[in-house]
């Protein structure tokens, strides 16, 4: 009989599980990291492997060890276009397209045995093409199998236009909040920094809470619901991080965002 997973985390790269869903680390049954080897950076490949080998939750973490396609920034984020592989790129990339098929093949045994899957959001947080691809791979199974998809509400100036394509879906979705264990998160970050695999500023401060959208298939998730939404805006032009906490329903939030970011 196939193992069942109540809470399954699926993320693109090592440290994504910490950056985008640290509040789930303790209570998840399994953490899946999709991409590991970097064909352009042998040191990063080794550093990632070291980080996962020393990860505080290594007993319930597996890596699919798929070679990343190195497509960060290859989509036109000014006019984002969703494709069957994730996002349309400025130049055709066979590696990126093939990785979608590999993800479907390797994720199937886990996804089909899950109740709640926590993964990247549809706009790839700050705007990463492989984050979008992993979300699309998870959602590929949603019509065939009964599980809930939960994703965070981090967004940046680069990914905002793609997020707005999901406005109607988000307006009709439930949300929930989860508190972050600061010590645990910092301990995990320390492992990544020590291994040379941390991709964020070393002085990063974790939030007190994270907020998630629920794409229901099974029904209500056993967590406290919330209408508070947190957005993380990363301004790539001057590397300033702005934290925005909005105690509003999603519909009002979008009106605020469009004004704030001049969209």
Collapsed DSSP state (helix, strand, coil) of residue 90: coil
- Give 79-88's long-range contacts (Cβ < 8 A, gap of 24+): 79/161, 80/123, 80/161, 80/162, 80/165, 82/132, 82/136, 82/162, 82/165, 84/136, 85/133, 85/136, 86/129, 86/130, 86/132, 86/133, 86/136, 87/124, 87/129, 87/132, 87/133, 87/162
Higher pLDDT, 238 or 233: 233
Hey, what are 240's tokens? 């300033």
Q: Which residue has the higher pLDDT, 143 or 202?
A: 202
What confidence score (pLDDT) does residue 156 get? Answer: 86
Tell me, yes or no, if the pTM score tops 0.75.
yes
Task: Please state, as a whole number, how many other Cβ atoms lie within 10 Å of the Cβ of residue 37.
Answer: 17
Q: Are 213 and 31 in contact (CB under 8 A)?
A: no
Domain map (residue ranges) of the chain: 5-260
pLDDT in tens, 164-202: 898 888 877 888 889 999 999 999 999 999 999 999 999
Note the CATH architecture for domain 5-260: 3-Layer(aba) Sandwich (3.40)
SS3 244: strand
Q: What is the mean pLDDT of the chain?
A: 86
Is residue 200 helix, strand or coil? coil
Look at 180-184, 247-251, 253-257 and tell me which has the smallest mean pLDDT. Answer: 247-251
Residue 260, pLDDT above cutoff 60 = no
Segment 50-96, tens digit of pLDDT: 999 999 999 999 999 999 999 999 999 999 999 999 999 999 999 99
**Counting beta carbons within 10 angstroms of the beta carbon of residue 255, is it exposed (0 to 12), middle (13 to 18) or buried (19 or more)?**
exposed
**Per-residue pLDDT tens digits for 86-140:** 999 999 999 999 999 999 999 999 999 999 999 999 999 999 999 999 999 999 9
SS3 60: helix
């Amino acid at each position: 009989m196939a193992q069942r997973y109540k809470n399954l985390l699926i993320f693109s790269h090592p440290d994504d599980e910490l950056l985008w869903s640290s509040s789930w680390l303790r209570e998840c049954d399994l953490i899946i990291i999709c991409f590991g080897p970097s064909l352009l950076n042998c040191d990063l490949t080794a550093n990632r492997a070291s980080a996962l080998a020393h990860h505080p939750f290594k007993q319930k973490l597996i890596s699919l060890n798929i070679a990343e396609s190195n497509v960060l920034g290859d989509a036109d984020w000014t006019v984002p276009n969703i494709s069957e592989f994730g996002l349309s790129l400025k130049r055709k990339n066979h590696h990126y397209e093939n990785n979608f098929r590999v993800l479907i093949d390797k994720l199937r045994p886990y996804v089909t045995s899950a109740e709640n899957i926590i993964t990247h959001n549809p706009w790839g947080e700050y705007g990463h093409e492989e984050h979008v691809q992993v979300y699309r791979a998870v959602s590929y199974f949603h019509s065939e199998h009964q599980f809930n998809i939960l994703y965070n509400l981090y967004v940046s100036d680069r990914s905002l236009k793609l997020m707005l394509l999901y406005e109607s879906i988000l307006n009709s979705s439930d949300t929930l909040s989860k508190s972050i264990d600061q010590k645990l998160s910092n301990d995990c970050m320390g492992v990544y920094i020590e291994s040379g695999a941390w991709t964020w500023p070393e002085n990063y401060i974790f939030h007190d809470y994270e907020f998630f959208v629920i794409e229901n298939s099974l029904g209500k998730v056993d967590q406290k619901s919330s209408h508070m939404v947190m957005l993380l805006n990363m301004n790539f032009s001057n590397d300033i991080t702005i934290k925005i906490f909005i105690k509003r329903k999603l519909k009002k939030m979008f009106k605020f965002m469009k004004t704030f970011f001049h969209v």
